[in-house]
Chain A
């Protein structure tokens, strides 16, 4: 019964819920009904969603930075246009998700502040540097590939506005992965130097991509409750395995190797088995000690601070116009 056993991992005061309302809510979840903004929901469900959706939104926004670094250095106009469009899409994804989180009663200003003060987390993957053009290929292929794996089941998540945002996002993600893989393919068919560049990028991005699915099921704090509420449909380990199974043959097609000596195909299960993930590294990066955490946060804070006068001026201008129109209306009456 989770009217008593509220998820203690979600911070905030414990709320004693009305058992009748909880039972009706659970029945709706079991019946695959979507929960909508003004519907009654347990406080812990609301908090879990605010945390997950806003974290997702922050990841899209911070995720624009590592790729944004390469827009002016893209090797051709075609690549530049594609990368610009992709980065713009990620900005859009962030906005759809912020809007979905706001339907739960949290304001955009609060969400933004949580990111800028470091109170909210974003995906660990965006704290790694983009050192060469091949990194842009790897991000599209692996990082967007992992995001797609995560996001497709979220199109059926129990909270309506989140599910609808995910449907839009998934429609747009496919281009992201394909443009990345195409970059990898071009490099791998190029000179030995270009192929080495692709291999180097894969070596650096492979493990951080696997970490994107989050801690192993046994250690995952939020998985069980989120599965119960149908916020999540698959566990972290299930999604990670799906990703490995889909991605390894794509890497072999490129003629590249994976930086994992234990990687092997298991005939009996039809799955690719992989070596141990360095969870200490994951925790370090999440705690703020990845290679680029400080740089990413500084970039976000600067952008926000430097845009403040624009937001302020736009609001003042809108108010001035509103008052002027009002005065004209009164004068005409």
Chain B
């Protein structure tokens, strides 16, 4: 068997309903963006799952390193004053 040239990989994002953001659903292999869209339609929307599809070359995605998630997201854990419940408002004032 002749060694084949690898087919580029694309990540697929689908907007399932108006008002919702595109969500990652999986990936497809295709030689170009147009064929990636066709493959994504056939693979991921056979039952009306989508109103819109994005395909993005997988190689274009930069991801954070899961091993560094502790230091990367540490600031969110220590800054409790970012949450409304941090502030004391007298009950008489009512809902705020």
Q: Does A99 contact B27, Cβ atoms closer than 8 Å?
A: yes
The answer, yes or no, to whether A269 is at the interface (CB within 8 Å) is no
Known contacts A38-B65, A39-B66, A308-B2; is A92 also within 8 Å of B31 by CB? Answer: no
Interface assignment of B6: CB less than 8 Å from any CB of chain A? yes
Q: Are B31 and A317 in contact (CB under 8 A)?
A: yes
Chain B, Cβ-Cβ closest to A93:
B43
Chain A residues lying within 8 Å of B65, measured Cβ to Cβ, are 38
Partner of A113, one of B1, B5, B31: B1
- Tell me if A321 is interfacial: C-beta within 8 Å of chain B: yes
CB of A165 within 8 A of chain B? Answer: yes
Q: Are B66 and A36 in contact (CB under 8 A)?
A: yes
Could you tell me if B6 and A40 are in contact, using CB atoms closer than 8 angstroms? no
Among listed A51-59, A64-72, A102-110, A142-150, interface-contacting one: A102-110
CB neighbours (8 Å) of A99 from chain B are 26-28
Most chain A C-beta atoms within 10 Å of own C-beta, residue among B26, B47, B66: B26
Within 8 Å by CB of A315, from B2, B5, B46, lies B5
How many whole Å from A104's CB to the nearest CB in chain B?
Answer: 13
Q: How far is the CB of B93 from chain A (nearest CB, A)?
A: 41
| Residues of chain A with a CB closer than 8 A to B67's CB | 40
A107 touching B6 by the CB < 8 A rule?
Answer: yes
Instruction: Give the complex CA separation of A172 and B44 in angstroms.
Output: 11
Q: How many chain A residues touch B (Cβ–Cβ < 8 Å)?
A: 30
B88 is an interface residue with CB less than 8 A from chain A: no
| B29 A108 Cβ-Cβ under 8 A | yes
How far, in Å, is B32 (CB) from chain A's closest CB?
4
Is A117 part of the binding interface, using a Cβ–Cβ cutoff of 8 Å?
yes
Q: Looking at chain B's contact residues, is the secondary structure mostly helix, strand, loop, or mixed?
A: loop
Do A89 and B46 contact each other (CB < 8 Å), given the known contacts A165-B26, A311-B4? yes
Return chain A residues, CB-CB under 8 Å to B37. none
Residues of B within 8 A of A88 (CB): 42, 46
Q: Are B32 and A318 in contact (CB under 8 A)?
A: yes
State the Cβ distance, B68 to closest chain A Cβ, in Å: 11
Q: Which residue of A lies closest to B67 (CB)?
A: A40
A321 and B32 in contact, given A88-B46, A95-B43 (Cβ under 8 angstroms): yes
Interface residues of A in 78-122 (CB under 8 A from B): 85, 88-89, 92, 95-96, 99, 102, 107-109, 113, 116-117
Given the complex, which residues of B lie within 8 Å of A92, measured CB to CB?
Answer: 42-43, 46
Q: In residues 213-270 of chain A, which contact B (Cβ within 8 Å)?
A: none
A-B contact pairs, 21 of them (CB 8 A): A36-B66, A85-B46, A88-B46, A89-B46, A92-B46, A96-B43, A99-B27, A102-B9, A107-B6, A109-B4, A109-B6, A172-B47, A308-B4, A311-B4, A311-B31, A314-B31, A314-B32, A315-B7, A318-B31, A318-B32, A322-B32
16 new A-B contacts, CB < 8 A, other than A38-B63, A38-B66, A315-B5, are: A36-B66, A40-B66, A92-B43, A92-B46, A95-B28, A99-B26, A99-B27, A99-B28, A108-B29, A109-B3, A165-B26, A308-B4, A315-B7, A315-B31, A318-B32, A318-B35
**Which A residues lie at the B interface, using CB under 8 A?**
36, 38-40, 85, 88-89, 92, 95-96, 99, 102, 107-109, 113, 116-117, 164-165, 172, 308, 311-312, 314-315, 317-318, 321-322
